[in-house]
Amino acid sequence: MTIITRDNFETCSNALQATALDATSLAASSLPPDLAFHRSMDQSLAHDLDSLSTRVLELTNRIIRLSNKDNAANFGRLEDEEDVVDEFSRNVVDAMEGMLERTDSALDEFLGRKKAPAIQVPDTLPDSRRKNEPKKRVLPRGRLDPTITHASHLPKPQLKFRYLHPNTDESPYIPAALIAHKWCAKVPLGYIFEDNFSRSEQSIQNEEDGEAEKKKRTLHPYYYELMHPAYPDHIFDPPSNPVRPSSLEGLSKTTSPSRPFTFVANSKDFLSFANTLTSVTELAVDLEHHSYRSYRGFLALMQVSTRQEDFIIDLLVPDIREGLRQRKGKPPAKSEDEKMANDAGEIVARIFADPTVVKVFHGADSDIVWLQQDFNIFVVGLFDTFHASKLLELSKHSLANLLETYCEFVPDKRYQLADWRIRPLPVEMLAYAQSDTHFLLYIYDRLRLALVEKATSQFASDSSPDSMPTATGSGTDPYTFIRSVLARSARTSLRLYEVEAYDALGGSGSGGWDTLARKWNKVALTASGGLDYNSNNGNGITSVSVAVYRAIHRWREDVAREEDESTRYVLPTHHLFLMAERPPSSSSDLVSLFDRAGGGIGAVPPVLRRRTGELVDAVKSAIDSVAVTLKQSTEPEVAETATGGVSADVSSTVPSSRNNEIVSTDIESRLWSIPASSPCSVTSRSILFSSTQAKASAFHQAIAYTAAHSTSTLMPNATDRFRGIAERIHRTLVIAPVVSVPTTIAKVCFTSNTSRPLNVTLHEMGKPTSTPCEPAGQIEIPFVPEHQRQSRSSVHPYAPIEDDTIVVVGQAGARQRKRKRERNKGTISQTRSDSAAVGGDREAEVEAFDYSSVPNLLDGGDKKERTSEENDRKKKKPRQSKVSRPPMQANIRAGPRDQREVKSGNKTHTFK
């Protein structure tokens, strides 16, 4: 067996390829096409073919397994001819392509063509360490106990706080007026110092809005120190081989963590913790905040880790909380515990403001604001690992991803939203809190090494220094990315706590009604989507849903401030939108919105259950205000005519059914307005089809609400009111026939001395007028009841015929027979006359027909008796002679009598 080496590799490769090619050519050219026939005739040939095929398949399977040793499970085994034909592409071609790709990659790396990655992220441990290290912990699944996420039975700890910012106080946050001393200051407290920033700082400043930057420069007490940082040298000197901290195994109740932590819950331990911080230069800090049972929220826990020890500080202890709070006019300590807490609080505040002590946070945007809100503590010298992960372009930027990448620790993120007011804290929650800072300094070292490696490799691959994004302008600086992280962290430290005022009019702000509607994609409830803009005056009128939504949102905000609860605890947001769509009219209606399967009324929030009447009253007031506003805005409007600008009150006039005069009605009773093609160019203001459609819709929605629930003050006597509306609707019923009138003479206009619209008839429309008007279209003819109609002869014998286009529906054959019968009687005469003006056209004059004598379809009266003439016209159908047919059972013999007669009881003794 020849051993393949570097010297004879080419010779062996050529010999192997030549042998394989010769064998393939021989098999393709020498074997007969009817090999199956010869195989069946010669048993020895069949045996030789089977053994040779088995050997070739075994060699092929071995080559596939050897070439894809790490991924052999993805390739099947070739057993017979069908496997070779069907699975050749997947098992052979894909395997060879993968082997050749890995060969090319190995050759490129061996020849120096392939460079190592700039950031070395360990994906797996070496075999030697994997044996000693414990197995990777599997993330537990399932929901936590509801008592851990929302411990509703706990009393509010903020009731024991010595100071709590009033929820109703919306005055701006001015730190210079609150803190008594500025630690590690380069510029005195309250003094605004401006100078020319460096180019890098100026470029960072331009990213912010001008007004926001001016506000920070004016209000932030450490603005100058943060924009002119003085970082220690050790921040740019990461250890080449960082020491990984001990693992955490304290995630069960039966075990304790391998590295114990110190739980600080009294003034003495708090002072000892503060003295420990005076001797360190690096800190890892994290905070736990609670906001569900408080309007503004408060800090409940602080985790701090040094290189040697972990601390968890209980911020719900009144002495510790008051000691951390920095403020002017702080009263002197009354006891030894208070004095120790105040001294410890000053030490912690000074260390957080000291730029020589690096404070390592991850995602410190909220932490910076919470420290200012609760304790007036400001952070200088921040290193945010979130910005470092962004610059390194990692796949994910969460703390859990960093812990899993660098420390192979998977935190249980279910406790991230736990109720941190629980005392004593469970072991699982303490272990989770410790893990947030336990590995953070080690991650800080690894990230700094990666930043230096990235800057070095990027400079080595590109000789042009201008192509390198730096924070200092120097392309050769290996710490340029560390400086970029520090600059971004300084911008994070410049964040200021802002007391948000409630904007009831515009709904702006993070908690405003407009912001909430946009966040939930409720376009109809936003500031722009819930307004109807009138084309006349441009005033915005809110709809009923928007008014109810704003009223409920304002009620929720006021109650949350009053009871010091979060708005979502008072009323969940999804129920807020549900009430806006279905306004409750009573407490029972409101409670029914919270019904759920198996839950009953238990889903109603406790605060809302006690104050349902207040919310229902707020909804009613909002609907009533919208109804009043819309009623005032839909008063009769004045429209101008197309001729002389004379105005006429058309929006409040409808035809009368009794005296053919135009009478005035309320606008909400209008159903149809004057058609657009009416003889006059009058702007229509119909509440159904005009520009006021949205206002009318909102008005009728409010009226429907008040009518359905009988609680509105607008309509004290709803029955009489609706009866009057029904009568006006009946009087406004008109027939709108299509009358073909010449457009040259059918014109109607208003004269200058007219105080009301003219009652124009068809006879008067035939007269020409000299005043130019718009062409006429469909004319509205008032509906006249049957008992008020007059025959044509009683009005005027020569009055023109008014065709009301009443169509009598009947049979076409009967109509033709009627005309033929009347023609025979001589009732219709044909008159012919020559007319020279029209070129000799002949017209047939038909006898005028009195339409008043014809029953109207809208009458609906009693049926009239048929006249003798109509009885004569009715032909009787000839009676057809019936042909006698034998009955069906004529030839069938009748059954026995006892089977043909109706039986009563058992007279025939059929049943025994």
For 24-42, the pLDDT digits (tens) are 787 777 777 787 888 788 8
With cut-offs at 50, 70 and 90, classify the pLDDT of residue 10.
Answer: confident
Lowest-pLDDT choice from 119-123, 675-679, 904-908 = 675-679
How far, in Å, are 525, 617, 705, 707, 715 from residue 585 at the CA level?
20, 8, 8, 11, 16
The yes-or-no verdict on residue 433 having pLDDT over 90 is yes
Lowest-pLDDT choice from 566-570, 612-616, 618-622, 801-805 = 801-805
Q: What is the pLDDT of residue 761?
A: 39
Q: Which residues contact 248 (CB under 8 A, 6 or more apart)?
A: 257, 258, 259, 409, 431, 434, 435, 438
The yes-or-no verdict on residue 478 having pLDDT over 60 is yes
Alpha carbons 601 and 604: distance in angstroms, whole number: 6
Q: What is the pLDDT of residue 480?
A: 94
The yes-or-no verdict on residue 729 having pLDDT over 70 is yes
The residue type of 330 is: K
Highest mean pLDDT among 246-250, 775-779, 891-895: 246-250
> Residue 458 in contact with residue 442, Cβ under 8 Å?
no
The yes-or-no verdict on residue 147 having pLDDT over 70 is yes
How far, in Å, are 226, 265, 288, 347 from residue 633 at the CA level?
56, 64, 53, 65
Give me the mean pLDDT over the 297-315 stretch: 96
Q: What is the pLDDT of residue 683?
A: 39
CA dihedral (105, 106, 107, 110) in degrees, to 10, reads: 120
Q: Is 647 helix (H, G, I), strand (E, B) or coil?
A: strand
Q: What is the pLDDT of residue 806?
A: 53
> What tens digit of pLDDT does each residue of 591-602 get?
888 875 443 445
With cut-offs at 50, 70 and 90, classify the pLDDT of residue 402.
Answer: very high
Q: What is the pLDDT of residue 786?
A: 59
Give me the mean pLDDT over the 268-289 stretch: 96
- Residue 637 tokens read as 């409007």
Q: What is the pLDDT of residue 552?
A: 96
With cut-offs at 50, 70 and 90, classify the pLDDT of residue 843.
Answer: very low
Q: 62 or 267: whose pLDDT is higher?
A: 267
CA dihedral (579, 582, 584, 588) in degrees, to 10, reads: -100
- Residue 11 tokens read as 């010779």
> What tens digit of pLDDT does each residue of 699-716 get?
555 555 655 554 444 444
Query: Angle CA(201)–CA(204)–CA(210) in degrees, nearest 5?
Result: 110
Alpha carbons 639 and 750: distance in angstroms, whole number: 12
Of the chain, the end-to-end C-alpha distance in Å amounts to 110
The yes-or-no verdict on residue 623 having pLDDT over 80 is yes
Q: 463 or 299: whose pLDDT is higher?
A: 299
With cut-offs at 50, 70 and 90, classify the pLDDT of residue 645.
Answer: very low
The yes-or-no verdict on residue 442 having pLDDT over 90 is yes
> What tens digit of pLDDT does each residue of 352-382 get?
999 999 999 999 999 999 999 999 999 999 9
With cut-offs at 50, 70 and 90, classify the pLDDT of residue 832.
Answer: very low
In DSSP terms, which residues pair with 654 in a beta bridge? 663
Taking the mean position of all CA atoms in its chain, how far away is CA 43? Answer: 77
Q: 197 or 189: whose pLDDT is higher?
A: 189
With cut-offs at 50, 70 and 90, classify the pLDDT of residue 63.
Answer: confident
